Structures are given as structure tokens and as C-alpha cells.
């Protein structure tokens, strides 16, 4: 990480000094940075003259005294509070009074680090994402004592370096590592509940939810030990709030040494002869000639109805006002409904098949269906055939409350609303951070606008009824917005 940040500053035109407490490590860093600059030249992304000029601006220093005169010092040392505090106390004895000090911590409190300094106001968090030269996001974190001028200078510097900075308060996980926890946690819990296997959960979140990577393959890339440590750190910082509870299944992986790609095995086998994991995909089924449309489907289910019309499926429409939850009626009597958190088997008005949420039903390549225990095989095949008629792959998963995409997205939205209400960051920075930092297809608050706060509230309320531990209890900001939307007659 330190090498990456140094490279970013170099290419922005700054002279850079590199120091490492371990003998020889600074020289190794310079060699690695020089090699990366050379590869950029080979790829035509950097002129040879610019590489040479950057290399001339890069030097190593043997001790902290060599950092005297710097205008900005960024640390990327061990994630231990005592180590970072000791480093910054030593730096205060070396640098000028107007030098900006920055920590690249991803899990420690900026306020706690700065608390050991004589002048904590000049310490700010500059949380780069790895690899720093590639990923655009930088979280600019203000501790309780951070001067506004220090935060502004750090923000302007990151912006001048070609990064996408966002400002946030000093809270466990900052923006991304706080709000992203459900993306991993819900997938792991679904696996623990045997709703589906890892490959199928990953495929549904990617091909239906629009995420670039599934949580199982992503944590194998990150390292199970690294991801689990961040989750545990955030959970402990929130005093074991059940919303942040770590996964026992992931803990077992770490205990077994199955850390992901770096160890050759994680959720998946990454050995040289390992076959790529295959998600469960339903075999071809015939689409029914006619289905019924009951109520007034709008939003996501309305899009599905439009697609069926365009595909030439005959529809009989029943606009009876008494239908509170719109559904597609299948020939055998089952109702196809968009999930709102409750399991299909719990419905008392007949057999139900749940449809999982999709980012866009027009463009998604896979959908997930969850039949209730009382649904006849005939209707399961009919539902599969309908979506295959639309050109979609279909994964049939267990009847688990909230399914996969819906459960994940509802939690992400609630975490984002809660973070906004608590002043962690504003709406624009939250959505920017999640799109630019972890490549989400849509910001969680943008997603809230798309599906509606009442759907999010209903989904989480149903999940809370199924799992009354507090994990899924809707946040106060979500409850307030859902009530206001109800009063205003909005979706």
C-alpha cells in the first residue's frame, strides 16, 4: 500500500521520500515502484521521459529525521494503535508545524491515533483502496479533533492526484467497510442456512444483482483472514451489535488455513487443476401458454409483466382492487410474487413462488426463484419456463426469507440510510464511495429510490419477524422515511 501511494504522488509531480523501519525495505520499495513505472511505459500509458523524471523525484531516507521539511507524511504501517501512535509522536519531533499528517488506516480510529499527539488537529485519515494506483476512491476521514483546514487540504490533495475523494466522519469502518458488511455477511448466512451453494449465490448476485464479483470469490481474492478481521473489528467497535455479527463459516475457513487464492483454497479450490465452480442452473422447461396477471403490478414486477407481453406470452389480466399484493398466476394455481422478505411457504392464501430482486430485469442474465414447500412441480417448471422464454438462466434456491439479492440490497440500503442519518457522510459521498470503492452497480441510496423505501422496510420487517435477533430490525431513519412515504401515498 505504501508503494502504491508513493507512486500516485510521484505521478502527480511531487518529490517523494520513502522510509521503512526495516533495513533495506525502502530500497526494495523504490525498486518495485521503478519497475511498475517501467511497465506503464511498456504499455504506452506513460512517456519514458515522465518515468525518468518521476524516478528522479523518488528517494529513500534512513530515518524519520530525513522526513524533515515534508509538507505531507502518510503512514501505511502495521494496523496497531500503539504502533501508529508511537510513529506520529516521533514524527511530531521532526516535521514542521504546518506539515499535514495522514494515516492510511482501514480499521482503527483516527481520533484514537490523533489522541496521542500534541497537535491532533493536523492528523487526518487518507484511506486509499488497494491497489492504490488503480482504484480511484480515497476516504478522507476527520477525527474528532481534526481541523477543518487539514481535512480540506487532504481532500484537495487527493483530488489533485486524480483520485475520487469522499469526506466522512471517524466511525468504525468509515463509509465502505461499514456499509459493505451485509454484502458478505448475508451471503455467508445464506450459505449457512443451505439456501444455495457459494457458486450459485455468487452467480445470482452478479448476473441478477449486477455486482461485479460475488462475495465468495471476492473474499477469496481479498483473503479470508483479512476480510474476517475487518468484519470482526467493525463488530467489536460497535460493541457486538448483531447487525455486524461475523460469520461462523468464515471463521472456520480461517481456522483451517483456507484463506483463498493466496493459500490455494478458500470457499473455492484454487489449485492448478481445479475446475471453475458451476452455479445451479435449471434445465430447460416449457413456458405456459397463458398466465394471469392479478392486481396492478408496478416497479420490478411490472417490468417482468411487460417483458412477458413483449415475448408473446398470453396474459389474462385481473385488475380487481382487492388484490393487495400483485402476482402472476401460474396454470397450477401458484402465485409468482416478488420477494418482500417473508418465505413463500408462510403465505396462507395458497402456494407461492418468490422471485428475487434484480438490478434490471431487462438486462439481467439470471433470475432466482424460491418455491414454497406446497408448490406443485408443474408450477415450478412453468415459472422456470417463463423466465427461460425471456432468455434468462434460472437458479432455483431454497425458500429462505428475503432470498439473495433482495436480502443483501435491503440491508445495504438500511446501513447507508443509518450512516447518512448519523452524519458519517452525505448521500452523494455514500453512493460515490460504494460505486467507486467497491464497484457496486448502483449506490445504495440510489437503489432505495429505485425500489422504494416501503419495499425496503417491508423486506426487513419480514426478515426481523423471521429472525428476531435485532440483525434485521429496520433502522429508525428507514422507519421514518417509510412512514412518510406511506402518508404521502408514495411507493
pLDDT score at 322: 63
pLDDT score at 275: 93
Q: Pick 319 or 20 by higher pLDDT.
A: 20
pLDDT digits (tens, 9 = 90+) for 112-142: 999 999 999 999 999 999 899 999 999 999 9
Q: Pick 18 or 489 by higher pLDDT.
A: 18
Model confidence at 487: pLDDT above 90: no
What is the rounded CA–CA span in Å between residue 182 and residue 252?
19
Partners of residue 102 on adjacent β-strands: 74, 124
pLDDT score at 48: 96
Q: What are phi and psi of 366, to 5 degrees?
A: -145, 145
What is the rounded CA–CA span in Å between residue 257 and residue 271?
14
pLDDT score at 325: 84
Model confidence at 188: pLDDT above 60: yes
CA angle 40, 128, 134 (to 5 degrees): 25
pLDDT score at 107: 84
In the chain, the percentage of residues whose pLDDT exceeds 70 is 99
| Average pLDDT, rounded, for the chain | 95
Mean of pLDDT values over 458-469: 97
Model confidence at 491: pLDDT above 60: no
Sheet of 352-355, strand order: 314-318, 290-294, 327-329, 335-338, 352-355, 366-371, 393-396
Mean of pLDDT values over 273-277: 93
pLDDT digits (tens, 9 = 90+) for 287-323: 998 999 998 888 888 999 999 999 999 999 887 766 6
Residue listed under C-alpha cell 417463463: 386
pLDDT digits (tens, 9 = 90+) for 362-401: 999 999 999 999 999 999 999 999 999 999 999 999 999 9
CB 335 within 8 A of CB 350: yes
Mean of pLDDT values over 421-425: 97
Mean of pLDDT values over 213-233: 95
Q: Pick 73 or 488 by higher pLDDT.
A: 73
Residue 205: pLDDT band with limits 50, 70, 90: very high
Residue 147 is placed in which grid cell?
481541523
pLDDT score at 132: 94
CB 247 within 8 A of CB 241: no
Model confidence at 223: pLDDT above 90: yes
Give the residue numbers marked as catalytic.
106, 127, 139, 177
Amino acid at each position: 500500500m505504501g508503494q502504491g501511494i508513493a507512486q500516485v504522488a510521484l505521478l502527480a509531480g511531487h518529490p517523494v521520500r520513502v522510509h521503512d523501519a526495516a533495513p533495506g525495505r525502502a530500497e526494495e520499495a523504490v525498486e518495485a515502484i521503478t519497475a511498475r513505472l517501467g511497465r506503464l511505459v511498456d504499455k504506452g500509458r506513460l512517456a519514458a521521459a515522465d518515468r525518468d523524471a518521476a524516478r528522479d523525484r523518488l528517494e529513500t531516507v534512513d530515518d524519520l529525521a530525513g522526513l524533515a521539511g515534508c509538507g505531507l507524511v502518510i503512514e501505511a504501517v502495521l494496523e496497531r494503535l500503539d504502533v501508529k501512535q508511537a510513529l506520529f509522536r516521533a514524527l511530531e519531533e521532526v516535521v514542521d508545524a504546518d506539515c499535514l499528517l495522514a494515516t492510511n488506516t482501514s480499521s482503527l480510529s483516527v481520533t484514537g491515533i490523533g489522541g496521542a499527539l500534541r497537535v491532533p488537529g493536523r492528523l487526518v485519515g487518507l484511506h486509499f483502496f488497494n491497489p492504490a494506483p488503480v482504484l480511484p476512491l480515497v476516504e478522507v476521514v476527520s477525527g474528532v479533533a481534526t481541523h477543518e483546514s487539514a481535512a480540506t487540504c487532504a481532500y484537495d490533495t487527493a483530488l489533485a492526484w486524480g483520485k475520487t475523494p469522499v469526506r466522512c466522519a471517524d466511525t468504525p469502518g468509515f463509509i465502505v467497510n461499514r456499509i459493505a458488511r451485509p454484502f458478505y455477511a448475508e451471503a455467508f448466512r445464506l450459505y449457512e442456512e443451505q439456501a444455495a451453494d457459494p457458486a450459485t449465490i455468487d452467480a445470482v448476485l452478479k448476473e441478477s444483482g449486477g455486482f461485479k464479483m460475488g462475495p465468495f470469490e471476492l473474499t477469496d481474492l481479498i483473503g479470508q483472514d483479512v476480510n474476517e478481521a475487518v468484519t470482526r473489528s467493525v463488530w467489536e467497535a460497535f460493541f457486538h451489535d448483531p447487525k455486524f455479527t461475523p460469520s461462523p463459516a468464515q471463521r472456520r475457513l480461517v481456522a483451517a488455513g483456507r484463506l483463498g487464492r493466496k493459500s490455494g483454497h478458500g470457499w473455492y479450490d484454487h489449485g492448478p487443476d481445479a475446475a471453475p465452480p458451476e452455479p445451479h442452473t435449471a434445465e430447460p422447461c416449457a413456458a405456459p401458454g397463458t398466465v394471469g396477471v392479478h392486481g396492478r403490478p408496478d416497479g420490478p414486477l411490472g417490468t417482468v409483466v411487460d417483458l412477458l407481453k413483449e415475448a408473446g406470452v398470453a396474459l389474462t389480466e385481473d385488475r380487481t382492487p382487492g388484490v393487495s399484493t400483485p402476482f402472476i398466476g401460474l396454470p397450477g394455481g401458484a402465485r409468482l410474487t416478488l420477494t418482500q422478505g417473508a418465505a413463500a411457504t408462510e403465505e396462507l392464501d395458497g402456494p407461492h413462488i418468490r422471485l428475487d430482486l434484480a438490478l434490471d430485469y431487462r438486462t439481467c442474465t439470471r433470475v432466482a426463484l424460491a418455491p414454497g414447500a406446497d408448490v406443485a412441480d408443474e408450477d415450478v417448471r412453468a415459472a422456470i419456463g417463463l423466465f427461460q422464454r425471456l432468455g434468462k438462466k434460472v437458479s432455483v434456491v431454497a425458500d429462505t426469507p428475503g432470498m439473495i439479492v433482495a436480502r443483501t440490497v435491503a440491508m445495504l440500503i438500511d446501513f447507508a440510510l443509518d450512516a447518512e442519518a448519523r452524519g458519517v457522510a452525505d448521500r452523494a459521498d455514500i453512493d460515490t464511495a460504494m460505486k467507486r470503492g467497491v464497484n457496486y452497480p448502483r449506490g445504495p441510496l440510489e437503489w432505495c429510490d429505485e425500489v422504494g423505501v416501503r419495499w425496503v422496510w417491508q423486506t426487513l420487517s419480514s426478515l426481523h419477524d423471521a429472525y428476531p435477533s435485532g440483525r434485521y430490525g429496520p433502522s429508525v431513519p428507514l422507519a421514518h422515511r417509510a412512514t412518510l412515504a406511506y402518508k404521502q401515498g408514495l411507493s
